[in-house]
Amino acid sequence: MKKKILIWSSLLAMLLGCSAGPENPSSEASSQSEPAQTYQWRLVTTWPKNLPGLGMAPENIADRIRVMSDGRLDIKVYGAGEVVPALETFEAVSQGTVQMGHGASYYWRGSVPIAQFFTAVPFGLSAQEMNGWLLHGGGMALWEELYAQYNLVPVVGGNTGVQMAGWFNKEINSLSDLQGVKMRIPGFGGEVFEAAGGTAVNIPAGEIFTSLQTGVIDAAEWVGPFNDLVLGFHQVAKYYYYPGWQEPGPTLELIVNKEAFDALPSDLQAIVRSASQAVNSDVLSEYTARNNRALKELVEQHAVEVRRLPNDVLAQLKNISDQRVAALVGDDPLNQRIFESYQNYRSGVMDYNELSERAFLNVRAQLEGYDP
């Protein structure tokens, strides 16, 4: 009997030991990690607030970051002029006035002329080609190296695809027709336009319509049918010219203050990059889908005259562009590395595109009997 009692007592002690909680219940709770740190950031843009396409890109980036980070990185987006003027976005982010900005690198040509390579070069890379160079051709590393000098981290933030050449109230039949014309045209394209005899004016989107209407400028290029229809340029200009020699594949940028970015944990840094790259792809898809519908409306409902620039005008603009690009690069070692990387990639991708994109598009047009 004593032996049985001893066995049952031992079993009971073992059961009680297994079911017992920790001696100090609060010690388990205290060992749990503290709530993750949250960040409240501001993002300024060069675009009017909520402008379709361009203006929605930073909004969508902020939304994706908020969801992917479970609210740990919360970004408030401000349109052009709400915190800083549109064309002061670069300086505001560089100086740490705000943590983020969204725009296009050719707007900063006064401060960083070579940065224009990361938006658009006349007669340069298309949207697909720009993405290839930046993300898989060495361009991104050069962009980061350049912007690090200004306390910035760049990330691709959208691409509108090849743009239109612009809105005019006079026909362009020769290069002489550009003489004395005041045109809203930024970046390298503006430099080429001035060398061709015109006057380039760099003003933000919100001022273009009034400037055309009042005669402050005589012509303007903005983006393409999707945005141009929204801003109503067809009401103040008659002729709509193509092709967009000045911006064949303009890349938008998300810029982040480097000190703020470096202070983020690695997972939030990855989220910022991933969200912006996702929107980069989505913007191009949206413009591809919406431009054709908007052009149809401009022509059929608003009687806009779509004209092609003459070949000799395009050839002369190409010659001027080559000269201006060479002059810009100069002797600066980093400038030269950016230029060489861009040119080498461009040469290689053009060879392949002759056998792929161009060959297919030409055959499709021929078989469909397409005559633009």
pLDDT tens-place string over residues 131-166: 999 999 999 999 999 999 999 999 999 999 999 999
Q: Which pLDDT does position 168 carry in this prediction?
A: 97
> Which CATH code for domain 39-159+249-288?
3.40.190.170
Give the dihedral sign, CA 235/236/238/243. negative
Q: pLDDT tens, 18-39?
A: 444 444 444 444 445 677 899 9
Q: Which pLDDT does position 36 carry in this prediction?
A: 85
* Domain residue extents for the chain: 39-159+249-288, 166-247+291-335
Q: What is the mean pLDDT of residues 250-278?
A: 98
Look at residue 16 and tell me whether its pLDDT is greater than 90: no
Comparing CA positions, the residue from 179, 44, 175, 178 lying closest to residue 107 is 44
For strand 219-220 and strand 182-184, is the pairing parallel, antiparallel, or unpaired?
parallel
Same fold, 39-159+249-288 and 166-247+291-335: yes
Tokens of 163: 């743009």
Q: What is the mean pLDDT of residues 236-262?
A: 97
What phi and psi, each to the nearest 5 degrees, are found at residue 213? -65, -40
Q: pLDDT tens, 188-233?
A: 999 999 999 999 999 999 999 999 999 999 999 999 999 999 999 9
> Which CATH code for domain 166-247+291-335?
3.40.190.10
Q: Which pLDDT does position 33 carry in this prediction?
A: 61
Mean pLDDT of the chain: 92
Torsion of CA 336, 339, 340, 344, to 10 degrees: 180
Q: Which pLDDT does position 318 carry in this prediction?
A: 97
Cβ-contact 115, 335 below 8 angstroms? no
Q: Which pLDDT does position 189 carry in this prediction?
A: 96
Q: What is the pTM assigned to this prediction? A: 0.88
Q: What is the mean pLDDT of residues 48-68?
A: 97
Q: What is the mean pLDDT of residues 342-370?
A: 94
Residue 371: pLDDT band (50, 70, 90) is confident
Place of tokens 């070692």: 333
Cβ-contact 293, 304 below 8 angstroms? no
Residue 6: pLDDT band (50, 70, 90) is very low
The stretches of the chain forming alpha helices (DSSP H) are 2-19, 25-31, 56-68, 89-94, 127-136, 139-148, 187-195, 205-214, 225-231, 258-262, 266-302, 311-329, 333-355, 357-368
